[in-house]
Amino acid sequence: MPPVNRITSRHPTVIDAKEALFGKITAENRELREKLGHLITIGQENEALQARFDRLEENIFAAENLADLVRTLATELAEYFAIPLMTLFLLPPFYQQATETLGRNRNRNTDDGTPVTDLPLAAISPGVYQVLFASGRTVSGAGMIPEIREYTPFNRGPAVTVGSSAAIPLTAGRRTIGALVLASPDGDKFRADHATDFIERLTRRLALAVENLIARDELQHLSHTDQLTGVLNRRSLNRILGTEFERARRYAQPLTILMIDLDDFKQVNDRYGHAAGDRLLEHFAAILRTCTRGSDTVFRYGGDEFVVIMPHTNNEQARAAADKIDLQVHNQGVPWQNETLPIKHSRGLASWPETAAETAEQLLQTADQRLYEVKRQRKEGRG
């Protein structure tokens, strides 16, 4: 019987073990490559996401006004983050300031003339806010968040079924100003177990931007407003009148300037004191605001003179509006201590294109000349 070759008999086993080890190493390498590829993909996606968030933050801080900020936020969330629905909720003090900001900017004829009702902007009460953020953290999950479903005027557009939503607190430092509510038809977009680091960082920047715009508008308001009467001042008139005159010429639309001067105002100050004169000015400015349209703008020109810019208004229409002011003034006096101060005034009108004015300054000068012609005639007993 020939001897058994032990080396030969063990050889297949050694090869099998090596092949098994090689196969295991190959599989592990493949798994590592897949994991590495997955990590690289995640890293690239996060870099792209970070870049989109950085761009959005830059655009938020570049916004010229509050409406521009809200529109930019809504547009870019939909375009770059596939979040088609959003509402910016503000707590009462900030919401009131925001609506005042939007209203003032409409009066200044800026691009921020969007009515509040046309923006995804809403008030949230402190009570609802406290219930919503009882945990102090972002709230997210399937469907629409029930606590705020009825209060959420999402940005307008095609109806979208909400698959998931999230509410993130808006805080600037230690100040809480409201919440950002986002919604998507994707049920997995805002799952409760998803990280919200990026969006929470965004809302912190957003809160600062909202505060900055409101504060900046308030400063502009103070610099363009007559502090006694609350109407715009002469500085604002110089800017707005030029814009309105050029718009009237460009679109061939009529434009009228009404200039009003309080008669015998010095005698009121001399007899009753400057406090009485101030009360008379306040009261008269309130009458002008009440009797003019939303498209008209009232200014205190200086001293006891006021100007009303009336776009899309010809001379005949302006006279009817001025008659309305006259009637209101005639029916009112200004209560002062135990007396009633009478209100007497004169007015001058100048309309384009009835008046052959080449510039806004010429139109204003014509109204001023007509005003003082009326005052002169009255002094001579002919008015």
Give per-residue pLDDT as tens, 241-263. Answer: 998 999 999 989 999 999 999 99
Joined tokens for residue 16: 């099998």
Q: Torsions phi, psi of 142, nearest 5? A: -70, 150
Asked if pLDDT for residue 155 goes beyond 60, the answer is no
CA angle 280, 367, 373 (to 5 degrees): 80
With the C-alpha atoms ordered 132, 137, 142, 144, is the resulting torsion angle positive or negative?
A: positive
* Identity of residue 215: A
- Of all residues in the chain, the percent with pLDDT exceeding 90 is 38
Q: What is the pLDDT of residue 165?
A: 92
Structural domains in the chain plus CATH codes? 49-222 (3.30.450.40), 234-379 (3.30.70.270)
Average model confidence (pLDDT) for the chain?
Answer: 84
The length of the chain is 383
Cβ-based neighbours of 142, under 8 Å, separated by 6 or more: 163, 164, 187, 191
14 or 176, higher pLDDT: 176
Residue predicted with more confidence, 41 or 271: 271
Going by pLDDT thresholds of 50, 70 and 90, the confidence category of residue 111 is very low
Average pLDDT for residues 318-331, to the nearest whole number?
89
- pLDDT-derived band at 42 (thresholds 50, 70, 90) equals low
pLDDT score at 298? 94
pLDDT digits (tens, 9 = 90+) for 182-216: 999 999 888 877 767 778 888 888 999 999 888 88
pLDDT of 113:
47
Instruction: Output the CA angle 226-230-234, nearest 5 degrees.
Output: 35
What's the average model confidence in pLDDT over 268-273? Answer: 90
pLDDT at 112 over 50: no
